[in-house]
Every structure is written in C-alpha cells, then in structure tokens.
Amino acid sequence: MKRSIRFSDRLANWLPRLVLTPSLLVVLVAVYLFIAWTGWISLSSSNIVPRYDFVGLEQYVRLWSTPRWHTAVANLFIFSSLFLGLTTGLGLLMAILLDQRIRAEGALRAIFLYPMALSFIVTGTAWKWILNPALGVQKVVNDAGWTSFVFDWISQPRFAIYCVVIAAVWQSTGFAMAIFLAGLRGIDNSVIKAAQIEGAGLPLIYRTIIVPMLRPAFLSVIVLLSYVAIKSFDLILALTNTGPGSATEMPSTFMYAATFRRDQMGVGAASAMMMLMTVAAIIVPYLYSELKETRDGC
C-alpha cells in the first residue's frame, strides 16, 4: 500500500517532465540543432551538397555582393514596415469602430476575421487574379465605363511589392483587430466617462488614455506579425513568384532559390543566418523592454 502511494507520488512528480520531454527534444533537434548546422554550413564552401570545411566569411561576402540579395533586403524592409504599420493601424481603427456598441457587431467581426482562415497560397492566388489588369479591378472599372483607368502595379517592377503588401494586409488586419478588440473590451468604461467629464473628446481619450492602455495588445500583434512578415514565402510564390523579374524577391525566397535551385547552399545558409539575426535584432530588445515594463507593474 505504502509503496504504491509512493509510486503514484513519484509519477505525479515526473509526469510533467515526461510529457514535456518529446516536444523539447523535437524542438532541440528540429530548431536549435538545425540553426547550428545552418550556421556551420554558412561558414563552409558547400554548394550542391553540404561540405564540412571552413572558408570563413566567404559565403557572406558572396551573399552581399549579389544584387538580387540587395533587392530582397530592400523589399523586406518596404514590405515589413508597410505591412506592420498598415495592419496595426487599420486593425486598431477597426477595433475602435467596432467597440462603439454598433449593431451586427458579431457578424462584422466574423467577416473581418475570415481572411485569417485562408492560407497565404489561397490569398496569393486570389489577389493575383484581382490585381491582374486583364481580369481584376482594372477590367471591372474599365468595363464600367472608365476606360482610361489603369491599375497594373503587379506587372510593374517598381510597384509589385506594394501588391504583396495589399494582399498581406488584407489577410492579417482582421487578426490584429480581434486582438485589439479584446484589449478594448477589458478597459473599464468609467475611465472613458471620467475623461469625458474632464472635457476630453473621444479622439483625445483614445490617443492619450485608451491606446496607451493597449500596450500588451500591441506587443502581441507586433511580435506575431513581424515573424509573419519575415518568413513570408508562400504569399510571394503564389502572388508574384518573385517577379516581375526579381522585383518581389524576399530573403526567404532568395534563400530557397539559392539553396535548392542554384546550388549555392553556402550562400543560402548565409542568407538564413542574416534573417535570423534580423529577427533577433528586432524582437529581442522589444520583448526585453516590454517584459521588463510589465514586471515593474505597468
């Protein structure tokens, strides 16, 4: 009797560890081990197959002297800043509007959130047709009588990246809205009333009181969307396939092409490491400052 109690006690003690171990192992191998492996490859002379020698930073030098990589970095910059800014801004605006106790709020919320349910492949394909001058918006407007209307960004190298932004924003805004709306719902109504009595108009109340109170929601939205932005790959492939030319090349597509199509595994690994460092450089300080502030009791 005594022994069985002890056994169950010991089991209760070990169960959490037992349950967590497989996933921990998988993460260790599939994430961290391969990060380390990629780091090693990026320092070797690998091309079509991995080679385990050491050539220093040669692959990085090659990477940064490739014009296509510069396009990819510039595009990532344009895409992420516009995508993050627009998604956060529009999401917040929609959440604030939905929070005004309007009718059919549930239905509207579902409509705005629905694009989230689609994969980027579907989004990309749908927007490829919508943005195609011969099929989509331009044709509809032309057929409606405005024949001089031109909307052919997707076929112009200078503007194609903005098409990617439009599709990505369309997909993710509802998600940002849902998080902001949850944050708004958690705010005590009397805070707004108090500010109204003090003479503040609604725009001022939102700017100086409500939006600062949404800090945790901003944290979630920005962290989740930045990694969507940096890893965006399927959307590009489905929407523009990095074209026209290499106008919508992104680091992720570049890495894929270098590693698996152009037999430059070392360059691909180097580009992957650059992406990792970029993510770390943005997210780590942000997480650090936010988590520190919450611990201070904000």
Partner 1 sequence: MATLEIDRVRKSFGSVEVLKGVSISIADGDFLVLLGPSGCGKSTLLSMIAGLESVTSGEIRIANDVVNDLPPKDRDIAMVFQSYALYPTMTVRQNIEFGMKIRGVQPAERAKATLAAAEMLQMKHLLDRRPSQLSGGQRQRVAMGRAVVRDPKLFLFDEPLSNLDAKLRVDMRTEIKRLHQRLGTTIVYVTHDQIEAMTLATRVAVMKDGVVQQLDDPQVVYDRPANTYVAKFVGSPSMSLIPARLAVDGAGAVAVFDIPNEKPARISGIPIAKENATKFNGQNVLVGIRPELFTVSDGKPGRTISVHIDVVEPTGPDTLALFQIGGVEVTARVPPKTVEARKSATLTVDTTKIVLFDAVTEDRID
Please identify, among the stretches 107-115, 199-207, 244-252, 258-266, the one whose residues bind partner 1 according to the rule CB under 8 A: 199-207
Q: Which of 209, 223, 279, 283 binds partner 1 (CB under 8 A)?
A: 209
Q: Which of residues 212-251 bind partner 1 (CB under 8 A)?
A: 212-213, 215
Q: Which of 22, 56, 199, 203 binds partner 1 (CB under 8 A)?
A: 199
Give least dist CB 196 to partner 1, A.
5
Kindly state whether residue 279 participates in binding partner 1, applying the rule CB under 8 A: no
Kindly state whether residue 204 participates in binding partner 1, applying the rule CB under 8 A: yes
Give least dist CB 292 to partner 1, A.
15
Give least dist CB 1 to partner 1, A.
48
Kindly state whether residue 196 participates in binding partner 1, applying the rule CB under 8 A: yes
Q: Phi then psi for 213, rounded to 5 degrees? A: -75, -15
Kindly state whether residue 195 participates in binding partner 1, applying the rule CB under 8 A: yes
Kindly state whether residue 198 participates in binding partner 1, applying the rule CB under 8 A: yes
Please identify, among the stretches 8-16, 102-110, 207-215, 237-245, the one whose residues bind partner 1 according to the rule CB under 8 A: 207-215
Tell me the per-residue interface mask from 175 to 194 with partner 1, x by CB under 8 A, - otherwise: -------------x-xx-xx
Give the footprint of partner 1 on this chain (CB under 8 A).
188, 190-191, 193-200, 204, 208-209, 212-213, 215, 297-298
